[in-house]
Amino acid sequence: MSASTPTRNLALDLVRVTEAAALAAGRYMGRGDKIAADRAAVEAMRWVLNSIEMDAVVVIGEGEKDEAPMLYNGERLGLGVPPELDLAVDPIDGTRPLAMGLWNSICTVALAPRGSMFNPGPALYMEKIAVGAEARDVIDLNAPVRDNLEKIARAKDERVEDLTVVILDRPRHEALIREVRACGARIRLIPDGDVAGALMTALPETGMDVLMGIGGSPEGVIAACAMRCLGGNLQGRLVARTPEEEIRLREQGYDLQRVLTLDDLVSSNDVFFAATGITSGDLLRGVDYFGNGATTDSLVMRGLTGTVRRIQATHRLDKLGRISPIAY
């Protein structure tokens, strides 16, 4: 077995990473300080990631290194021993909701064998469509909204009117919202957090059927890792915000017309994903503090086996404080 092939369920290590980040960042709920919240999550993530037996390189992070404490693209984490892995991190998916005390803020992290994750480079935005397992083979990002909704409904043995479409609440989606409404489908607008939005489409208990619209391209790669584990599907297409950005992306070899399939976004099934709730939402419960303790709610997944675990943990913060430099 090669050094680039994971040999154990690293998702069970990753949940320690997201739990630590959620516990640290959760203290900033509603305090209006996005930077402090992000810093707390990043510092906790880095400390735990560096305790894991792996040689990981950040492919999806905070961009090239500028100043600490961001987890930056190209940073190496872990103990520097095999397996060799690509690492995708979103310390807080939903920084604004966390800072404002709103819903659906989570910590996420994913691992895959070295060289298997798509690197969007300077492309910050991506048009996406994501669905669960029942409709994984019928979506087409190039198709009209109505065609996709009708095919998804048939695949799920439902009517279009039964579907709920998750869309980020942004002015750029006004036309998309009109199209979905004209088709008769229901809409769930979310203020932020399209990693969680994509995941919800693959988890029947959430009641969400499809994610549509433009969101973050790094978040698209992270969500694709989770979809690998859940049996769902995600397609994406890079979006340039300005003519200057389009020129820069084309000069770097990015094809803005190409539909990126799940295989393009993460080419290996041997992928690991973990997410922990910071504030409560449709996907996960948030951190709940009490006395010297706290509870967390997490999802842990492994693509190779398709195993999805939900882990509800109780943490003794007084004991953690004796062995950890992180302020929980």
The DSSP H or E segment spanning 98 is: helix 95-100
Amino acid 187: pLDDT: 98
Any known ligand binding at 78? Answer: no
The one-letter code for the residue type at 166 is V
Judging by DSSP bridges, how do beta strands 55-60 and 76-77 pair with one another?
Answer: antiparallel
Mean pLDDT by 10 residues, the chain (328 residues): 64 97 98 95 96 96 62 94 96 94 96 97 95 98 98 98 98 98 97 93 96 96 97 98 93 96 97 98 96 96 95 95 89
> How many DSSP H helices and E strands does the chain contain?
10, 13
Any known ligand binding at 28? Answer: no
The domains found in the chain, sorted by start residue, are: 10-116+270-321 (3.30.540.10), 125-265 (3.40.190.90)
Any known ligand binding at 219? Answer: yes
| Cβ atoms of residues 231 and 136 within 8 Å | yes
Any known ligand binding at 270? Answer: no
Any known ligand binding at 318? Answer: no
- Which letter does DSSP use for residue 223 in this model? H
Q: CA angle, corner 151, sides to 145 and 156, nearest 5?
A: 125
Question: 163: closest CA among 173, 174, 171, 152?
Answer: 152
Amino acid 5: pLDDT: 57
Amino acid 68: pLDDT: 44
Any known ligand binding at 171? Answer: yes
Any known ligand binding at 193? Answer: yes
C-alpha span between 115 and 119 (Å, rounded): 9
Any known ligand binding at 147? Answer: no
Any known ligand binding at 55? Answer: no
Any known ligand binding at 192? Answer: yes
Any known ligand binding at 90? Answer: yes
Any known ligand binding at 125? Answer: yes
Amino acid 8: pLDDT: 82
Amino acid 1: pLDDT: 44
